[in-house]
Amino acid sequence: MTSRTTIAVAASAGACALALGLTAPAMAAPAQARDKAMVSVFHGIPGMTVDVYANGDELLSDFEPGTVTDPQSLDAGTYDIQIFEAGRGPEGTPALEKRVKVPEGGNATVAAHLSADGEPRLATFTDDVSTVDTGQARLTVRHVAAAPAVDVRAGGQPVFTDLTNPDEDTAAVDAGTVNADVVLAGTDTVAIGPAELDLKEGTSNVVYAWGSAEDKNLALATQAFSGMETTPNAVHAGGSGAAVTPNSPDQWLAWAAAAGAITLTGAMVARQVAGRRG
């Protein structure tokens, strides 16, 4: 059995925060050993503060929604992950349960979020830390909200169109500050925003659209990786987004899987959490 890792937790972002300023991205971290993987975690289930268990041990209590952790080097191996509503574990029934295999190498973010119809889900996204051209930045949008298809606009012009949960889309854009919003696909009806994005040269920036349209708590969270202009083969650290403040580095969780060769096995139990989203 792989040794347990620790977890890094970010303090809660406001569930309805629309102001969005990317924090200064963390600098590139040294390339990981071959038996490691770089993993971040995003919590995007509104109204559901959770306790997280790995291999039967509590690794996180009172983890708030709307947070993104910085990447952490994890030992390759298999982890039994159980996510409980705060105070309900380990004897209670988990809201999410999955056996997660972390292979060697790669960069990924694991997202706990709502499906399009409002059920809790666990998804894994590859974090692209390849090089970008001089004067450019990479922008990725991930739709992880209980909401219909959306368009993402910059300066009033669509950049990504007809994006559905749990898909993502990516484009290389000119570095600089842009005014972005999220609208219902094919309309001018604003669902989230507007928000100001500071896309620095040589960075890879991820925007999560999360929450629930029905519960009127749609929000944005951000993640940034730096060093793409000079070290395309390095593993890059990331920064959490608006109003997210990381806690101590000894609070990291083996809650995830690496990009590319990701293998998720076992069953996930997704249970409706009535009256707790908001």
Q: Is the pTM of this model over 0.85?
A: no
Give me the number of domains the chain comprises.
1
pLDDT of 114-164, one tens digit each?
999 999 988 888 899 899 999 999 999 999 999 999 999 998 999 999 999
Which positions ≥6 away from 88 have C-beta within 8 Å?
51
Q: Is residue 106 part of a domain?
A: yes
Residue 230 confidence (pLDDT): 52
Q: Is residue 164 part of a domain?
A: yes
Which region holds residue 261: left if phi is over 0, alpha if psi is between -120 and 50, else beta? alpha
Please give the single-letter amino acid code of residue 152. Answer: V
Query: What CA–CA distance (Å, rounded) separates 53 from 144?
Result: 23
80, exposed or middle or buried, with CB in 10 Å at 0-12, 13-18, 19+?
A: middle
Q: Is residue 10 part of a domain?
A: no
Which positions ≥6 away from 46 have C-beta within 8 Å?
15, 65, 66, 114, 210, 211, 212, 215, 217, 219, 277, 278
What is the 8-class DSSP label of residue 4?
A: P
Residue 34 confidence (pLDDT): 62
Residue 109 confidence (pLDDT): 83
Q: Is residue 235 part of a domain?
A: yes
Query: What CA–CA distance (Å, rounded) separates 100 from 265?
Result: 6
* Phi (first) and psi of residue 187, to 5 degrees: -130, 180
CA 182 to chain centre: 17
Low-confidence ranges of the chain (pLDDT < 50): 1-32, 231-278
Q: Is residue 125 part of a domain?
A: yes
Residue 52 confidence (pLDDT): 74
Query: What CA–CA distance (Å, rounded) separates 267 from 278?
Result: 27
Q: Is residue 1 part of a domain?
A: no
Residue 67 confidence (pLDDT): 86
Query: What CA–CA distance (Å, rounded) separates 39 from 32?
Result: 11
Per the CB < 8 A criterion, the answer to whether 74 and 37 are in contact is yes
Q: Where are the alpha helices (DSSP H) in the chain?
A: none
Domain with 45 in it? 28-265
**Nearest Cα residue to 55 out of 15, 97, 103, 92:** 97
Q: Is residue 273 part of a domain?
A: no
Q: Is residue 91 part of a domain?
A: yes
Residue 116 confidence (pLDDT): 97
